[in-house]
């Protein structure tokens, strides 16, 4: 949110201002979302809880994108979220067997990050998405994905926005 607010005027003035947030279908593993608690939870990170935490962060990216689209309503700024699919980027390299699995996936050509980048490039430049905003799109097909609840819940998106704004103001003052 801080970066978006910093760039807001430039994005609005731009002929084709676009924001593309990286989410994930891992958002479906978020369990219970509790706002504003989940924005400030500093519980110790564990291997067991990592999937849930990762899922929550990706769900929050989807929700932020929906509210951001409303915040830029009436401008030419387009904002969408994407699911880049599985990418062998080294995320999770501290988990057991991750390095070995990463080498194996690379050997059999699974999880190439270029595939995940393709949907970002399509949303940024393909005329098909020129006027589409507030969506969540899938790698490969480029099809719109319906996120898990509360991904499209307007009340929850606004709550996330307001909670984040309050936290940033508290932090910056």
Q: How far is CA 151 from CA 57, 121, 146, in A?
A: 11, 23, 8
Residue 144 φ then ψ, to 5°: -70, 140
> Residue 123's closest CA among 146, 142, 151, 145?
142
Q: Residue written as tokens 């490969």?
A: 140
| Sequence-ordered list of residues with C-beta below 8 angstroms from that of 172, at least 6 positions apart, any chain | none
C-alpha distance across the termini of the chain, in Å: 16
- Residues annotated catalytic, as ranges: 54
């Amino acid at each position: 949110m801080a970066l978006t607010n910093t760039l807001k005027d430039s994005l609005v003035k731009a002929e084709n201002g676009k924001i593309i947030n990286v989410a994930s279908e891992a958002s479906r593993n978020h369990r219970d979302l509790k706002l504003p608690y989940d924005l400030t939870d500093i519980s110790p990170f564990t291997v067991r809880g990592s999937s849930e935490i990762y899922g929550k962060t990706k769900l929050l990216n989807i929700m932020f994108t929906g509210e951001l689209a409303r915040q830029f309503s009436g401008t030419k700024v387009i904002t969408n979220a994407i699911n880049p699919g599985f990418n062998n980027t080294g995320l999770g390299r501290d988990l057991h067997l991750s390095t070995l699995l990463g080498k194996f996936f690379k050997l059999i050509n699974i999880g190439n990050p270029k595939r995940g980048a393709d949907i970002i490039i399509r949303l940024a430049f393909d005329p098909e998405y020129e006027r589409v905003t507030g969506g969540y799109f899938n790698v490969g097909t480029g099809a719109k994905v319906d996120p898990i609840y509360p991904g499209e819940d307007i009340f929850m998106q606004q709550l996330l926005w307001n909670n984040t704004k309050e936290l940033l103001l508290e932090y910056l003052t």
